[in-house]
Structure 1
Amino acid sequence: MIDKSLFRFAGIRRIMGLLATLSLVQGLSVVGQAYGLTLALVQIWHLHGLHTLVRPVLIFFTAFAIRQLCDVAKQRVATDYADYVVGELRPQIQRKVFRLGPAALAQRGTGSAVTMLIDGLDEVRTYVFTVLPKMMDMVFIPLMILVVVWIQDTVSGIVLLLMLPLLFFFMAILGMAARDRSNKQYAQFRKLNTRFMDTVLGLPTLKMLGISEEYEDEIYSVSDRFRKRTMSVIRVAMTSTFALDFFATLAIAIMAVFLGNNLIDGTVALFPALLALILAPEYFMPIRQFGDDYHATLNGKNALNDIVTMLDTPEPDHLDDLDWQGWDSDSHLTVEGMDFAYPGPKPEEGQASGGSQMDAIAKSSGKKKRKGRKKSAIDATPVPAPGRDLDSTRTCGDGAEEGARQPDALHHVSFSLSGLTKVAVVGRSGAGKSTLMNLLAGFNIPQAGRIDLDGRLLEHFNARAWQGHISYIPQNPYIFSGTVADNIRFYDPDADQAAVARAADQAGLTDWVETLAEGLETRIGEGNRGISGGQAQRIALARVLLDRTREILLFDEPTAHLDIETEYELKKTLLPIMEGHLVIFATHRLHWLADVDQVIMLDGGRVVAQGRPEELMGEGGPLDALIEEMGGNQIADYQQD
């Protein structure tokens, strides 16, 4: 009945005890209300004077008021506790998202993660404040009414008692059917959210490639399947409701027949017969309400299981014993022979990222046109999860053993960095840029390799001493539920309002903030809800500007999803920030090469070129091939011989 995951929250037993007490009091008030009504009707039947109705009417209205007050109190207690549960879950999810990093969350998909963080928490809240009081009502109120009816009329009590297992049987059978269908529907909902979000994020690219209509057909197909699954769940829920109503009505009708015959025969008095008949609908009401609400809150139960599963996901090991004071002009970093492969089988098709899906569509669209048949590009081409590289999706089949891993996304990667320098990591889509950035941020753990940080040998970069000195801006910055100012304080929660305002102004947010009714105190939500991609990137930049103590800046294609005008404005903001830092900038926009000191080029998960841009360009090497392929006119003063 109640998901066992709820017992992980503090105070659940106290709340259940309080709700049980209120249900007991409400049960007594239901009996009192029926007693007062029955007594009044009997007095009227016997043609007694109006003064005899004063006492039963007072009993009725007193019991009615207590019943309503108990109902309001239960809803208040359950709602407050539901808010508490969501309030506990939200920061736990946010911390878990940050600790797991993009590599682990890639398994879920962008839309799925947003579903959990936004809609999932709302559904959990609905589940908690609905199910808890209704379950307490179902446990205590029918039991109290059964005892009273049995005392008043044994036959009626037997009818109610015999009908109860039948109701529970059909509620369980149909409930399990609805649960199974709801589980499938919730999984389909996650896929739909992933497809829709990735499509929205990638609309400019889809239009540029001329294939937006294909994604329109795909979204229609997925949403239509979701609609059919939803209707299937509703049909089962309506069948369950009909079964509960039918058997409840049948039991009341059987009681009425027995009571009517007994009244005619004179074997039962009017008062107990009428009291039993009035209480019969109240006996079935909590069971019927719980059955209805059970179907209505299945999504909340699924969302809670999804959240708990994510919270229980093991986190990567941390290096807590690293004694390192930070990066300066004399610091150096050497990485030798680093290998990394994603664990397990490749992610489900529906969890692929928009960017990867676009690459797949671009490669397959020509073939599809030649074949002249209409088929979704997503169905035609396997695609990787967000943050993964195309090469990393070549995996074993669905029957992969636990612990198996995919072929190397990075293989024997070696490079050296020193001092306050700007480094561009370039390569074709799927070359391993995002994977390398996640390794440097400590989100991915390499399977092999040697890391030398200022003479200290590390197994990986998931070390608090290292991460305390980096600011990481991914393609899609993490925007959590809170004010704009709260989001800017991400690295420095204690920063005052003046410092936040200065950082926002330096990041180019002032014009936008001035349009907001509450300025920096305007609330925004998870998944960049309520703001554009460019505004999210500028909030991420403001975080960097607010905390000047971090000497290492990691940028994973922060302008990948922006239009050229927004990117140009953002670049003017970025370049001054980069001065006096070690900057590692993964990008496929080659105009950045004119502004960096060093280039690391990846191809197929390997480093194929490294050095100063002027040393690598114009030599006919792999960087020139990439420049020619992607357009050398992006780079200032670039001319190939």
Structure 2
Amino acid sequence: MAPEAEPRQPPVDPRLWRYAAASRSFFLVIALLSLAQTAAIVGFAFFTTRAIVDAIAGDDLTGTLAALTGVVVARALLSLVRERVAARASARVESQLRGAVLDGIARLGPGWTATRSTSHLALVAGRGLDALEPYVGRYLPQLVQTVIATPLLIAAMWQADAISGLTVLLTLPLIPIFMILIGLATRSVQRRQWETLSRLATRFSETVQGLSTLTVFGRQRRAADAIERVTDDYRRETMTVLRVSFLSGFALEFLASISVAIVAVAVGFRLIDGSLTLSVGLFVLLLAPEAFLPIRQVGVQFHASSEGVAATRDVFAVLDAAAAASAPPAQAAAPAQGADHRLRLEGVRVRDLPPVDLEARSGEIVLVEGPSGAGKSSLLQALLGFASATGRIEFDGADAASRPPSTWLAWAGQRPGLASGTIAANISLGDDDMPAETIQQALALVGLADVDPYRMLGVQGAGLSGGQAQRVAVARALARHLRGHAPVLALDEPSAALDAAAEQHLWQSLRTVADAGALILLVSHRESARTIADRVVRLNSAEVTA
């Protein structure tokens, strides 16, 4: 089978503008600085030529040397300003992209990360984003400088001497042609180097995680040998990248030198025969190397930033996946509290468990029963996107995967998942504007009306009993529903740590909430849960019956 062609990557990926807002103003500032630098280059050539001609003629050089000094100082200051602007912009872009990548991974959830190599994701969020510094801070500014400076310098040469301007215009395209050819080779070898580094990170991570098992079975030496082989591959790929970079630099310098030499020889012959004045000839000769310099520097900076260029493909792949997952369809607005909602599961299978068919609507409590290992918790994890599943899950007639579960589903698992902080902060997690009345109402529904919402908890909710922590977790799900953010409640063994009285209070509250319009999926092994259920779905190892 023929290998799949690698998609062409533009010099500046437009997604950079979308995901890193700092890059937009950065391009504008760099463009203005490039204009000023180009003017300084032309001014330097002009005043240097004038100083030499005046010195030969024996004229006063005071004004010319003062102007030349001013141009040199301005050019140096502009270079310094550009370096600082590029350094700050690259740091801001890197920070924004890292935050976007980490936020995107969090939005995609465990179900997505379970299908990816965590070591590769760590490499992308770490080394990959660090490699963007030369790409954003050096390559992109030089690209802008080339686009602006090269046409202006050729125009200045053409204005002074049309023959020299035409010579540069005809010889200049040779450099981009060779840059494109070399760039294709560089991209290929750099991509292989990045993929080898990803394999090395993955292999090392997996070996460390399974080191105890490898040692027990005497396979640790084989794992070390495998890491050594991948390390050698990475070393070879790195040397290949360096070799291509050196050859590229030589080719670009050679072509630029030949082109400048052609201009110099032509100017020399014309100076001898008197068809060209000394001032024009010197001015053109000083500008000729400057006309080729920007495009040569693009090639140099491209190789210096090639790892960042390769990393952007994986960085933007994560961001695109997160954007696709979090973008709701046009009709998927926030669910209204009093609306009639429907949840439908058709042939939903998690791992090798039996498929589940289920339909429920607002106002119902559907009790899911079954022995341990039958897939009760796994079914809820599939709804949340925490576990990959086959089949179809629909909410209000649309594929539930088309929008984040947080927009329609509130969940309380078997583990409370509380964090250090106040009880109120744990309940309002993800909703900074939650009113205190909603928090108090949610606590009352779970039987904790007498608990201070601003009581401080330790790590993992330390300071509460097991039953209290479980009820706080249920209160968090109820509060999201009361706020109108989640018409569906998924509760996994919410009464496992409760006594009979607290359990009965919780059941009555859930029945009240369902009668008010909630759709509740309740996983419980308690027989008392049947008293509030509208329907019971029984899971077992062989079949599903409703």
TM-score scaled by structure 2?
Answer: 0.65
| Distance of 2:127 and 2:283 partners within structure 1 | 45
| Distance of 2:174 and 2:325 partners within structure 1 | 47
Contact (CA 8 Å) 1:441, 1:472: kept in 2 or not?
no
Q: Paired residue for 2:412? A: 470
Aligned ranges 1:557-568 → 2 under 5 Å: none
Aligned ranges 1:607-622 → 2 under 5 Å: 608=541
Q: Paired residue for 2:13? A: 3
Distance 1:507 1:64, change over 3 A: farther
Q: Paired residue for 2:72? A: 64
Instruction: Provide the secondary structure at the position in 2 that maps to 1:248.
Output: helix
Larger Rg: 2
C-alpha displacement of 1:167: 0.8
Q: Which amino acid aligns with 2:29?
A: L
Distance 1:505 1:98, change over 3 A: closer
Q: Paired residue for 1:234? A: 242
| Distance of 2:189 and 2:377 partners within structure 1 | 37
**In the alignment, structure 1 residue 41 sits paired with structure 2 residue 52:** yes
Contact (CA 8 Å) 1:339, 1:413: kept in 2 or not?
yes
**In the alignment, structure 1 residue 411 sits paired with structure 2 residue 411:** no
C-alpha displacement of 1:230: 2.2
Contact (CA 8 Å) 1:29, 1:66: kept in 2 or not?
yes
Contact (CA 8 Å) 1:413, 1:607: kept in 2 or not?
no
Match of 2:39 among 22, 28, 35: 28
Contact (CA 8 Å) 1:244, 1:288: kept in 2 or not?
yes
**In the alignment, structure 1 residue 447 sits paired with structure 2 residue 447:** no
| Distance of 1:503 and 1:28 partners within structure 2 | 64
| Distance of 1:121 and 1:161 partners within structure 2 | 38
| Distance of 1:143 and 1:217 partners within structure 2 | 55
Q: Paired residue for 2:436? A: none
Distance 1:75 1:448, change over 3 A: same
Aligned ranges 1:538-549 → 2 under 5 Å: 549=475
| Distance of 2:100 and 2:244 partners within structure 1 | 35
Distance 1:546 1:339, change over 3 A: closer
Deviation string 1:147-197 (CA, Å, 9 cap, x unpaired) is 222233333223211211111111111112211222232222222222222
Aligned ranges 1:350-499 → 2 under 5 Å: 409-412=352-355, 438-439=381-382, 441-444=384-387, 446-448=389-391, 463-464=405-406, 468-470=410-412, 491=429
Which runs of 5 or more residues in structure 2 are unaligned? 1-10, 339-343, 359-364, 418-425, 434-452, 463-468, 479-495, 504-524, 527-538
| Distance of 1:281 and 1:315 partners within structure 2 | 51
C-alpha displacement of 1:414: 11
Which runs of 5 or more residues in structure 1 are unaligned? 325-334, 342-407, 478-487, 509-542, 553-577, 583-596, 599-605, 610-641
| Distance of 1:120 and 1:340 partners within structure 2 | 36
| Distance of 2:73 and 2:474 partners within structure 1 | 61
Q: Which amino acid aligns with 2:244?
A: V
Contact (CA 8 Å) 1:5, 1:305: kept in 2 or not?
no
C-alpha displacement of 1:282: 1.4
Q: Paired residue for 1:210? A: 218
Contact (CA 8 Å) 2:384, 2:405: kept in 1 or not?
no
**In the alignment, structure 1 residue 117 sits paired with structure 2 residue 60:** no
| Distance of 1:132 and 1:450 partners within structure 2 | 45
For the aligned residue pairs, the C-alpha RMSD in angstroms reads: 4.8
Q: Which amino acid aligns with 1:8?
A: R
C-alpha displacement of 1:66: 1.9
Q: How many residues align?
A: 431
Aligned ranges 1:131-530 → 2 under 5 Å: 131-313=139-321, 314-315=324-325, 321=335, 339-340=348-349, 409-412=352-355, 438-439=381-382, 441-444=384-387, 446-448=389-391, 463-464=405-406, 468-470=410-412, 491=429, 503=457
C-alpha displacement of 1:109: 0.9
Q: Paired residue for 1:574? A: none
C-alpha displacement of 1:247: 0.8
| Distance of 1:203 and 1:467 partners within structure 2 | 39
**Percentage of matched positions with identical amino acids:** 30
| Distance of 1:176 and 1:489 partners within structure 2 | 54
Contact (CA 8 Å) 1:319, 1:464: kept in 2 or not?
no
Instruction: Provide the secondary structure at the position in 2 that maps to 1:198.
Output: helix
Contact (CA 8 Å) 1:245, 1:288: kept in 2 or not?
yes
Distance 1:130 1:447, change over 3 A: same
| Distance of 1:322 and 1:209 partners within structure 2 | 58
Contact (CA 8 Å) 1:138, 1:286: kept in 2 or not?
yes
Distance 1:131 1:438, change over 3 A: farther
Contact (CA 8 Å) 1:492, 1:547: kept in 2 or not?
no
Q: Paired residue for 1:108? A: 116
Deviation string 1:571-627 (CA, Å, 9 cap, x unpaired) is xxxxxxx95699xxxxxxxxxxxxxx99xxxxxxx9659xxxxxxxxxxxxxxxxxx
| Distance of 2:142 and 2:415 partners within structure 1 | 46
Distance 1:246 1:88, change over 3 A: same
| Distance of 2:54 and 2:472 partners within structure 1 | 79
TM-score scaled by structure 1?
Answer: 0.56
Contact (CA 8 Å) 1:442, 1:460: kept in 2 or not?
no
Q: Which amino acid aligns with 2:287?
A: L
Deviation string 1:232-260 (CA, Å, 9 cap, x unpaired) is 22222222211110011112222222222
| Distance of 1:96 and 1:218 partners within structure 2 | 32
| Distance of 1:250 and 1:500 partners within structure 2 | 77
Match of 1:75 among 77, 80, 83: 83
Distance 1:130 1:465, change over 3 A: closer
Instruction: Provide the secondary structure at the position in 2 that maps to 1:411.
Output: coil
Q: Which amino acid aligns with 1:23?
A: S
| Distance of 2:213 and 2:408 partners within structure 1 | 35
